[in-house]
Structure 1
């Protein structure tokens, strides 16, 4: 697509060199000497029998029926899926513990959907492939306010805007690496070196890779500045090596504030992102969020405005860029220049920008999301309604007529109802409708889910 553009703020072009690809590698072995030095004193006294005997086992079973009707695809999707989960955690013995968690995702009856691995591309995507997955397997050392975790593990930072588990999908996203957590007074520090993202599309590869390998770092420090007010600083350096990973490699630095003022909670976030690692596109863009949550009796009202900036990036290797980009819209501006927006390769994306998942990847022209939600109790049920208005950060103009091509993307309305059937059994019904204007197509999704835990 070749187009002219008009931006809310002036874009700038940066030059850069395309990186060279590296072979994916599992690097946990290099971390073992460090871990050994940290836990050696405790390991001498650990009683494996005591740790195993005191371990705890939990079971979970989740069933979901999901339907998708999407303009442009003749067939509607219907997915009847389930996930069985077995979790075992040892008791702590002289500061050491370990845990393992397995998931098995399966099809129960209806398989009229594109799971990204089953080859049924005539249907809309429901990203719940079947198969067995080792969800977690880790050893943990904890001494007072210092914790070290090595292995495959769950990592959720803050709201999961930058790193999370995507727990809504049947195959959870977990991480292979080394995590260090500590707190000093009012300051909490959380750092992880990650050499593999165990993605929701696994356990095997399909239309999307089941794993992203690389050298990545996730850091977040949070301080309780004064009662009811916290400030966090974060840095996420994603250096992803295989498949479409390089096009999603980025370095993001930012800060977040959250303050409580009686019934009102205010959240503000500001981030800057640029290319990193072997990303073939050179770009820099800004993300910010302003959000207010108001509680009035039993009613919660949230209003927010979130912006994903867009930049005129350059590439010395257009073919590699086109091959490695992950979703979104690539807009060719000529002279090897392309529009680029922010990437969130490890975020819990279903939580943000609407439930129909039309903006899992922000379009290259950026995104402005103004949304409001209202939630409250109706008997034992919790009912939530939400509305999103989506617009571009950059307005593309037709090179001949000057008319806008991409400006007002569309809107979405959603409704969810959760109900506790028993102490260990929950029911969820959810439906969302995306009405397209300049971007994507009209889409309706609905879910019925039962979640048992023992």
Structure 2
């Protein structure tokens, strides 16, 4: 589509023109080059998780016992430059009766935590005053992660290879632009029979935020995804995730009350074989009283021409229920009406959310879901979490009842 291509080029070009030029002045924190390394920091993080899945689509339940280990070195800053390297390993310790997407155990439900080791992050950054630029493999998390996130819930992060420029003005305006040529997905480090470990392509993330008043902000964004076709995988696993999304988001706090509202418009892009134009909108209100916060939200991923609105780079586990029944938007779209409550009993943080799912285009009830979580921050280094999700499918829905249970122990040095 020539018009779409021209529009993408104009928007990206305008964004680059708006970005301020770097000034390579000395803003050193370390006194010399070698001090970057001698004054750097090393971090070690272990996250053990037991995950249980009872999905009525399968004859056997999944039991996964995994350990994620992170080793991170971050240098001190010298003349505005700093660097970070992070190594990651996912190992199985104990139960491994689950489909990791690479172990061939397709008789079990999926727990997408394939084992392996990789360079999780490796970047060089220059910062000066209100400007920074980061080149290399990095985490990128924007807003509530509905469009761009690191999928931090899974044992293997989603990271991005490319360049990111950030600018913060003195009048509440912030510009964030990233060019990403490779997405390192949670299914890595090696390709699996079900999913490619990486997506290559020409992707642009443009995020402009203006803070109106304290606790009130408006964001305009454009996420332009042009993902290459991957030989050996169906288009839905790669190139058909190409899309252009343009949207607005408002976030505000009014004393004990909060409001978040978003709208986006999406079309197919690049070499996608799809032809659609769909809308996204969401609104969530919250109220806090006596240490308890209640939220009421409504989120819609609409459908057009049999194609649902897509957010393939989102932290999807965070949305539409922890049972992960809607990681791919149904062809008829989806509506999610949810009610949540969160509070604390001593050091124990508790949360519960109820969802009601329906199709956006058709008169179809998908089902309901109850999510529960208890988190105990034992100390600065230790934390424990127990989570549970129960999805009950409607009798007419093309889905099955699913229950999931997670026990997570995290330790950081």
TM-score, normalized by length of structure 2? 0.90
Q: Which has the higher contact order (CA 8 A, sep 6+)?
A: 1
CA distance in 2, matches of 1:41, 1:295: 46
Pairwise CA distance, 1:226:
2.0
CA distance in 1, matches of 2:244, 2:32: 42
Q: Is residue 218 of structure 1 aligned with residue 205 of structure 2?
A: yes
CA distance in 2, matches of 1:445, 1:269: 29
Pairwise CA distance, 1:421:
2.1
Give the equivalent residue in structure 2 for 1:444: 403
CA distance in 1, matches of 2:260, 2:322: 21
Superposed counterparts of 1:120-199, under 5 Å: 120-184=105-169, 185-199=171-185
CA distance in 2, matches of 1:133, 1:384: 34
Pairwise CA distance, 1:49:
0.7
* Structure 2 unmatched runs, 5+: 5-20, 231-236
Q: Is residue 101 of structure 1 aligned with residue 86 of structure 2?
A: yes
CA distance in 2, matches of 1:222, 1:39: 23
Of 243, 247, 254, 2:240 maps to 247
Superposed counterparts of 1:236-275, under 5 Å: 236-243=223-230, 244-275=237-268
Give the equivalent residue in structure 2 for 1:276: 269
Of 303, 317, 320, 1:353 maps to 320
CA distance in 2, matches of 1:127, 1:447: 14
CA distance in 2, matches of 1:47, 1:201: 40
Give the equivalent residue in structure 2 for 1:292: 285
Pairwise CA distance, 1:444:
0.3
Q: Deviations over 1:401-426 (max 9, x none)?
A: xxxxx610111001100012222100
* Structure 1 unmatched runs, 5+: 1-15, 20-36, 313-338, 396-405
CA distance in 1, matches of 2:255, 2:106: 51
Give the equivalent residue in structure 2 for 1:208: 195
Q: Deviations over 1:161-183 (max 9, x none)?
A: 11010001000111000000001
Q: Deviations over 1:10-34 (max 9, x none)?
A: xxxxxx79x9xxxxxxxxxxxxxxx
| Residues 246 and 43 of structure 1, relative CA distance in 2, 3 Å threshold | farther
CA distance in 1, matches of 2:261, 2:80: 37
Superposed counterparts of 1:330-409, under 5 Å: 339-395=306-362, 407-409=364-366
CA distance in 1, matches of 2:27, 2:291: 50
Contact 1:410-1:439 at 8 Å conserved across structures: no
Contact 1:46-1:96 at 8 Å conserved across structures: no
Pairwise CA distance, 1:99:
0.7
CA distance in 2, matches of 1:42, 1:111: 52
Matched position secondary structure for 2:399: coil
Aligned residues between the structures: 385
| Deviant stretches of 4+, over 2 Å | 37-48
Pairwise CA distance, 1:297:
1.2
Pairwise CA distance, 1:227:
2.6
Matched position secondary structure for 2:317: helix
Pairwise CA distance, 1:439:
3.3
